[in-house]
C-alpha cells in the first residue's frame, strides 16, 4: 500500500502545510517502511491554529455545558467503535505490542468518561456567609486558548487526558502530537471532528518542536500549556512561559524505584517488576528502572527476574507471540544502546541482554538487566527510557529508602513487603507523586491524579479531580438580595 499524505486540522478543516513540506514516518518494527507523510509545519501554521482557537473560544465557552458533554460523549462512542483500527495504527507508529495498544485505547476511554463526568460536577460551590441577606458562591470558568504537547510513548491516552478536561471546561485547544506518532494524534482529533465539534475548538499541527513549538508557548493568546516529555524540554517551557504568567502543567521524566524487602512475596515482586521494566520496551514514564533489593534475597531475586526477562519474545508488535516490541525510533535506539555500553564500561555486571537483535529490520533491543549497580552511577541516576533494569544491592530498609530517594526524579515508586510498619514508613518517606505497596510502579487509574515531584513534574497534576482544575480559574461571587448594603 502506498503511504498517504496527511494534513493539519485547523478551524474544522484538514489543511496542507503552508509551505507544502512534509516529513516521512518510518515503522520502528521495519525501519525501511515509510508509513506516511506528515506536514512539516512552520510557525505560520501554528499561529493560524491559534487564531482559529481564539476565534472559536467565545462561542465554545458560551455553549451549554450539557451540550459540550454530549459532543464529547459522541467522540467517546466513536473511540470505542474504532478502537481496533486505532490500535493497529498505534502499534505501527510506536512499536508497542497490539495488546498494549488496545490497553492504551481502553484506558483512554475510561479517562475520557471520567473527565466528562468530572467536568459536569466541578463547577463551583455555594457556602454560608456571616452576612445576613446575602449569598456567596464560587464558579469555575475556562482559561481561554490552551496548548497541548503530547509524547510518543502514550500518543493516544495522554492527548485524551489533557484535551478532554480542557474542552469540557470550555477552553479551545491547539494540539501538537509527537513527530514519532503523528497519525495516532490525527486519528484522535478525527473522532472529535466526526462527532461534530465546532470549527476551531480543537486544532492539530504536526511538525518539529523547534519549528512550530514557539507559538504554542509564547503567543499571548495562550493561557495554559500542558506538556508531557523530557525534563530538559519541560524546564525550557517553564522558563519561557514564566514571564508571561502562563499556567504550565509539566509531566516529565522518571527513574522509578521498586524496593524488595526480605519478607516480600518474591514471585509476585518479580512478575510486577519485570512487567513494569519491559512493557512498551521500557518506555513508560512510570517504568521500573531500579530494583533496590535487600542483601538477604538479592541473589535469589536476581535469578527470578533474569529467568522472566530471558523468556520475553522480542519482535513485531503486530504478531501475537511478541512480548516486547521495538523501541520508538532511530534516536531512541541509539541513545539506549549508548547508555547500555556506558553501563558495561562503568563496572556494573551485565546479567542478560545488552545488545540489539541481530539481523532484525527494526529498532529491537534485548531486555537488559544489570546487577551490582552503584547507586551513584549514571546507570542508576540517568533516565534511559528503554528496556534496561538496574538491580541495586542494599543492606537494610533504611539504606533502601535513601537510595530510592537519592535521584533528581520523583515520579513513582513501589515497595514489596508483608511488613505493615515498613510499608507505612515507606509511603510517608518516598519522595514521589505516585506510590504503591505490592504493586508495580506503573499502576494508575483515572479517578486519581497523576503527577511527579522534583524533576519529574510541575504544576497541578493531570487526571483525577485535578484534570479539570488545571484548565479552569476560580471566580467568587457575592449577592446581596435583601440585607444591608
Query: Residue 2: is its pLDDT beyond 90?
Result: no
Domain ranges in the chain with CATH number 3.40.605.10 = 4-252+456-476
> Is the CATH number 1.10.3720.10 carried by domain 256-437?
no
* Interval 403-457: pLDDT, tens: 999 999 999 999 999 999 999 999 999 999 999 999 999 999 999 999 999 999 9
Query: Residue 484: is its pLDDT beyond 80?
Result: no
Please give the grid coordinates belonging to residue 58.
Answer: 467565545
Task: Read off the pLDDT band of 55 (50, 70, 90).
Answer: very high
DSSP 42-95: -HHHHHHHHHHHHHHHHHHHTS-HHHHHHHHHHHHHHHHHTHHHHHHHHHHHH-
Enzyme catalytic residues: 251, 285
Query: Residue 121: is its pLDDT beyond 90?
Result: no
**Nearest Cα to Cα of residue 184 among 47, 322, 328, 323:** 328
Element (H, E) at 380: helix 378-381
The sign of the torsion formed by the CA atoms of 188, 194, 195, 201 equals positive
The cell 481564539 sits on which residue?
A: 54
Contact 207, 236 (CB under 8 A): no
Contact 390, 289 (CB under 8 A): yes
The sign of the torsion formed by the CA atoms of 26, 32, 37, 41 equals positive
pLDDT at position 388, please?
Answer: 98
Bridge partners, residue 135, by sequence? 479
> 224-238, 298-312, 330-344, 470-484: lowest mean pLDDT where?
470-484
pLDDT at position 65, please?
Answer: 95
Q: What percent of the chain has pLDDT over 90?
A: 93
pLDDT at position 1, please?
Answer: 52
Mean per-residue pLDDT for 269-296?
97
* Interval 85-111: pLDDT, tens: 999 999 999 999 999 999 999 999 999
* Interval 285-328: pLDDT, tens: 999 999 999 999 999 999 999 999 999 999 999 999 999 999 99
Task: Read off the pLDDT band of 274 (50, 70, 90).
Answer: very high
Task: Read off the pLDDT band of 483 (50, 70, 90).
Answer: low
pLDDT at position 123, please?
Answer: 77
Please give the grid coordinates belonging to residue 285.
Answer: 514514564
Mean per-residue pLDDT for 191-208?
97
Torsion of CA 409, 412, 417, 420, to 10 degrees: 100
CA distance 113 to 427: 30
Contact 72, 167 (CB under 8 A): yes
Domain ranges in the chain with CATH number 3.40.309.10 = 256-437
CA distance 90 to 94: 6
Q: Residue 328 class from Cβ within 10 Å (0-12 exposed, 13-18 middle, 19+ buried)? A: buried
Give me Rg for the CA atoms of the chain. Answer: 23
**Cβ-proximal residues to 221 (8 Å cutoff; 6+ apart), any chain:** 50, 53, 54, 144, 145
Q: Which CATH number fits domain 4-252+456-476: 3.30.428.10, 3.30.750.24, 3.40.605.10, 3.30.300.30?
A: 3.40.605.10
Mean per-residue pLDDT for 336-346?
95
* Interval 200-223: pLDDT, tens: 999 999 999 888 989 999 999 999
Distance of CA 39 to the CA centre of its chain: 23
Q: What is the overall mean pLDDT for the chain? A: 96
Q: Produce one character per residue of 435-470: b if its CB has 16 or more CB atoms within 10 Å, e if not.
A: bbeeebbbebebeebbbbebbbbbbbbbbbebbbbb
CA distance 481 to 463: 38
Mean per-residue pLDDT for 362-372?
97
Query: Residue 3: is its pLDDT beyond 90?
Result: no
- pTM, 2 dp: 0.95
Q: Produce one character per residue of 196-218: b if its CB has 16 or more CB atoms within 10 Å, e if not.
A: ebbbbbbbbbbbebebbbebbbe
Amino acid at each position: 500500500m502506498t503511504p498517504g499524505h496527511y494534513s493539519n486540522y485547523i478551524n474544522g478543516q484538514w489543511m496542507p502545510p503552508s509551505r507544502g513540506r512534509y516529513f516521512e514516518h518510518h515503522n520502528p518494527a521495519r525501519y525501511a517502511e515509510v508509513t506516511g507523510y506528515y506536514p512539516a509545519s512552520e510557525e505560520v501554521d501554528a499561529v493560524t491554529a491559534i487564531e482559529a482557537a481564539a476565534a472559536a473560544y467565545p462561542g465554545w465557552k458560551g455553549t451549554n455545558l450539557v451540550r459540550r458533554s454530549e459532543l464529547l460523549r459522541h467522540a467517546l462512542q466513536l473511540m470505542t467503535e474504532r478502537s481496533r483500527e486505532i490500535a493497529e495504527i498505534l502499534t505501527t507508529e510506536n512499536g508497542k505490542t497490539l495488546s498494549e495498544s488496545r490497553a492504551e485505547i481502553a484506558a483512554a476511554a475510561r479517562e475520557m468518561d471520567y473527565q466528562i463526568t468530572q467536568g459536569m460536577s466541578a463547577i463551583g460551590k455555594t457556602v454560608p456567609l456571616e452576612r445576613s441577606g446575602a449569598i456567596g458562591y464560587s464558579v469555575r470558568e475556562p482559561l481561554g486558548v490552551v496548548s497541548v504537547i503530547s509524547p510518543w510513548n502514550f500518543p493516544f491516552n495522554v492527548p485524551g487526558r489533557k484535551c478532554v478536561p480542557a474542552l469540557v471546561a470550555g477552553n479551545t485547544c491547539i494540539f501538537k502530537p509527537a513527530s514519532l506518532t503523528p497519525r495516532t494524534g490525527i486519528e484522535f482529533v478525527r473522532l472529535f471532528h466526526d462527532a461534530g465539534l465546532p470549527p476551531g475548538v480543537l486544532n492539530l499541527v504536526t511538525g518539529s518542536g523547534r519549528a512550530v513549538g514557539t507559538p504554542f508557548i509564547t503567543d499571548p493568546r495562550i493561557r495554559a500549556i500542558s506538556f508531557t516529555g523530557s525534563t530538559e524540554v519541560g524546564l525550557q517551557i517553564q522558563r519561557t512561559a514564566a514571564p508571561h504568567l502562563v499556567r504550565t502543567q509539566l509531566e516529565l521524566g522518571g527513574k522509578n524505584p521498586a524496593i524488595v524487602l526480605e519478607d516480600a512475596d518474591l514471585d509476585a515482586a518479580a512478575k510486577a517488576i519485570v512487567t513494569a521494566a519491559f512493557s512498551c520496551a521500557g518506555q513508560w514514564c512510570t517504568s521500573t528502572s531500579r530494583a533496590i533489593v535487600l542483601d538477604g534475597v538479592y541473589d535469589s531475586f536476581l535469578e527470578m527476574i533474569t529467568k522472566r526477562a530471558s523468556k520475553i519474545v522480542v519482535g513485531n508488535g503486530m504478531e501475537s507471540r511478541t512480548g516486547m516490541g521495538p523501541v520508538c525510533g532511530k534516536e531512541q535506539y541509539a541513545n539506549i544502546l549508548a547508555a547500555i555500553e556506558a553501563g558495561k564500561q562503568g563496572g556494573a555486571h551485565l546479567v542478560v541482554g545488552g545488545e540489539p537483535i541481530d539481523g532484525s529490520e527494526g529498532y529491537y533491543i534485548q531486555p537488559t538487566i544489570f546487577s551490582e549497580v552503584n547507586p551513584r552511577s549514571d546507570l542508576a541516576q540517568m533516565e534511559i527510557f528503554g528496556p534496561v533494569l538496574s538491580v541495586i544491592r542494599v543492606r537494610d530498609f533504611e539504606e533502601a529508602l535513601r537510595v530510592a530517594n537519592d535521584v533528581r526524579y520523583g515520579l513513582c515508586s513501589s515497595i514489596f513487603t508483608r511488613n505493615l510498619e515498613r510499608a507505612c514508613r515507606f509511603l510517608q518517606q518516598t519522595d514521589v507523586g505516585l506510590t504503591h505497596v505490592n504493586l508495580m510502579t506503573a499502576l494508575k487509574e483515572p479517578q486519581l491524579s497523576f503527577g511527579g515531584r522534583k524533576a519529574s513534574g510541575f504544576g497541578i497534576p493531570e487526571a483525577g479531580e485535578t484534570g479539570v482544575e488545571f484548565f479552569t480559574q476560580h471566580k467568587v461571587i457575592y449577592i446581596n438580595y435583601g440585607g444591608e448594603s
